[in-house]
Structure 1
Amino acid sequence: MIEQQQNNPLHGLSLETMLTELVDFYDWKILDAALRLACFKTNPNMPACLKFLKKTEWARERVEAFYLYRFKRMPKGSAAQFELKPRERGFEDGIVPRKPQELTVELIADMRAKATADYEAMKQNKGSRPRYGSDKPRAQDSYAQNRSSSHNKPAPSQDPKNPWGK
């Protein structure tokens, strides 16, 4: 397990240290705008946030993912990597964390609005997309031809010894 974890910036990092780094660099307002966790909005303080994050696994994973991909700016992994919790993910040898991404409340709001607009556009285009990647009408495939011509054939036999009806 140690071999798999040595390329993860979260390995050996306590939640308190991580949260302290994030608060020192970003401030509570930016963390609230980016992560939308109540512990960062209403009376934010280190002991209360630590207590909440230790009890709430999904919130802790959200903070850890933010730390990895916004603060340490590690490269995005494969789909298999995203199935794992942030502390279980590994990175290739030689990949080192970069400088933290500069964020403001306005930039986060713009990013969220763009993501929402992209999602809505994708939802609307989903039904009107060409099925097979082209706008040209497609010739009927063999399955459809066999299905349409099978109306004249007798139904298969229900006899288990003769499933083909012959």
Structure 2
Amino acid sequence: MENNKSKDPLHGVTLLNILDQLVLFYGFDTLGELIKIKCFTDNPSIKSSLNFLRKTDWARKKVEELYIRTLPKLNKE
């Protein structure tokens, strides 16, 4: 049988899961320093961040890129 497993690290991972893992790993303070967007610096919450990221492609792309760079660290835990 042929193995059709995707090589895309984001395949099957929801934005909520990405955000949860990044917040657990970095916290909102560090996320706000790494990615300068208000949803991470001004009264941050998962819900408000999800709302913003779902509407804002450039911000979601930055979060996804950080998640991909952070994956090796997350997998070590």
Point out the structure with the larger helix share. 2
Q: What are the within-5 Å matches in structure 2 for residues 89-100 of structure 1?
A: 98-100=72-74
Q: What are the within-5 Å matches in structure 2 for residues 72-151 of structure 1?
A: 72=71, 98-100=72-74
Q: What are the within-5 Å matches in structure 2 for residues 63-78 of structure 1?
A: 63-69=63-69, 71-72=70-71
TM-score (norm 2): 0.86
Q: Whose RCO is larger (CA < 8 A, sep 6+)? A: 2
- The aligned counterpart of 1:9 is 9
Share of identical aligned residues, percent?
A: 38
Q: What are the within-5 Å matches in structure 2 for residues 7-46 of structure 1?
A: 7-46=7-46
Give the letter aligned to residue 39 of structure 1: C
Q: CA RMSD for the aligned pairs?
A: 1.3
For residue 9 of structure 1, report the CA deviation from its aligned partner.
1.4
Give the letter aligned to residue 65 of structure 1: E
Give the letter aligned to residue 10 of structure 1: L
Instruction: For 1:58 and 1:68, locate their aligned partners in 2 and report how far apart those are by CA, in whole Å.
Output: 15
User: What runs of 5+ residues in structure 2 fail to find an aligned partner?
Assistant: none
For residue 99 of structure 1, report the CA deviation from its aligned partner.
2.1
Instruction: For 2:29 and 2:73, locate their aligned partners in 1 and report how far apart those are by CA, in whole Å.
Output: 20
TM-score (norm 1): 0.41
The alignment partner of 1:58 has SS state of helix
Query: Once superposed, which parts of structure 1, at least 4 consecutive aligned residues long, lie more than 2 Å away?
Result: none
- The aligned counterpart of 2:51 is 51
